[in-house]
């Protein structure tokens, strides 16, 4: 088979306001878009280089261009690329190309259930407790909120948001900012506040410490989990995993991760980095498998790309074929 034409470019999409987590802030989504063409049809995929793992836009573009000309199918990608943003962008582009070429939606090609609309979490950036509470009130039309936390003062943040929004479902994401000394107290406060899920409280290299933690609120692995191969190590330490295509290496890797997590009776969050609808579209195909989805990237942008995902009062709908898949 003649190798398809592969191209890649970096794009910058401004945000409505700064997005702040424990590791820093950003004012724009910096993404990589890969396109794969067979001469008659073209598929696209979007990925976000993950600085936490040393990825950069230039490095991901270099990885994609390195394999261009010698990769002819989605099945061969994992031989040349490790799980990460480059593999995600190309994997999703090949799925999209196959859909465009056959006229069959990716959900059917992948053997997944019919895509469903689902309530997505909406993220409140890390800030002072009173500011986060105010943002929660401003989002009164949204029923599921995720609080970015940062360590010191997180008890006050959780209590302030809960007081401001007694009606809301709440998730929290510490992005590895809690410590062995604080985790017990902060889990107690999370339980007091009716938090549904705590995402990655401890640094990934302290996973084993969770053996001794009272998980009265379910704990979800994020930075600690990448692919299905991680699940055997994590299954006794966590209650849930955050499946992100940028970590898993695309839709193909994410499907394998979801299946292995379910086999081990773990709950599923499907998430994404801050990105446009093109990155969120493949992840939405896993929504029916998820206990929670956190796919609010398009809601955080100043403007989205053409044929973007439809979101109404926090409910996000499956992608149109004009966008992807």
Residues with a known catalytic role: 148, 244
Q: Could you tell me if 296 and 269 are in contact, meaning their C-beta atoms sit under 8 angstroms apart? A: no
Cα distance between residue 92 and residue 186, in whole Å: 38
């Amino acid at each position: 088979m003649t190798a398809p034409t592969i191209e890649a470019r970096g794009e910058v999409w401004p945000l409505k306001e700064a997005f702040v987590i424990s590791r820093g802030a950003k004012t724009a989504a910096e993404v990589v878009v890969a396109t794969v063409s067979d001469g008659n049809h073209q598929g696209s995929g979007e990925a976000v280089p993950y600085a936490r793992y040393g990825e950069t836009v230039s490095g991901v573009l270099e990885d994609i261009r390195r394999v261009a000309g010698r990769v002819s199918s989605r099945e061969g990608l994992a031989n040349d690329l490790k799980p990460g943003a480059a593999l995600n962008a190309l994997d999703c582009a090949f799925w999209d190309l196959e859909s465009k070429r056959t006229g069959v939606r990716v959900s059917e090609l992948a053997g997944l259930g019919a895509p469903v609309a689902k309530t997505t979490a909406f993220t409140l950036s890390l800030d002072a407790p009173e500011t986060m509470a105010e943002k929660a009130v401003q989002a009164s039309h949204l029923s599921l909120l995720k609080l970015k936390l940062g360590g010191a003062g997180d008890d006050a943040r959780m209590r302030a948001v809960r007081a401001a929004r007694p009606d809301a479902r709440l998730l929290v994401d510490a992005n590895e900012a809690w410590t062995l000394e604080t985790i017990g107290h902060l889990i107690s406060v999370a339980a007091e506040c009716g938090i549904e899920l705590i995402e990655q409280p401890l640094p990934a290299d302290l996973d084993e410490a969770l053996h001794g933690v009272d998980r009265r609120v379910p704990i979800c692995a994020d930075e600690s989990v990448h692919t299905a191969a991680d699940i055997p190590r994590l299954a006794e330490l966590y209650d849930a995993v955050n499946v992100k295509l940028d970590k898993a290496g695309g839709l193909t890797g994410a499907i394998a991760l979801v299946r292995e997590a379910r086999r081990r009776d773990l709950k599923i969050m499907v998430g994404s980095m801050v990105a446009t609808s093109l990155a969120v579209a493949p992840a939405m195909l896993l929504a029916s498998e998820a206990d929670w989805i956190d796919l609010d990237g398009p809601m955080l942008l100043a403007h989205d790309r053409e044929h973007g995902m439809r979101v109404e009062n926090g409910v996000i709908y499956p992608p149109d074929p004009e966008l992807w898949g």
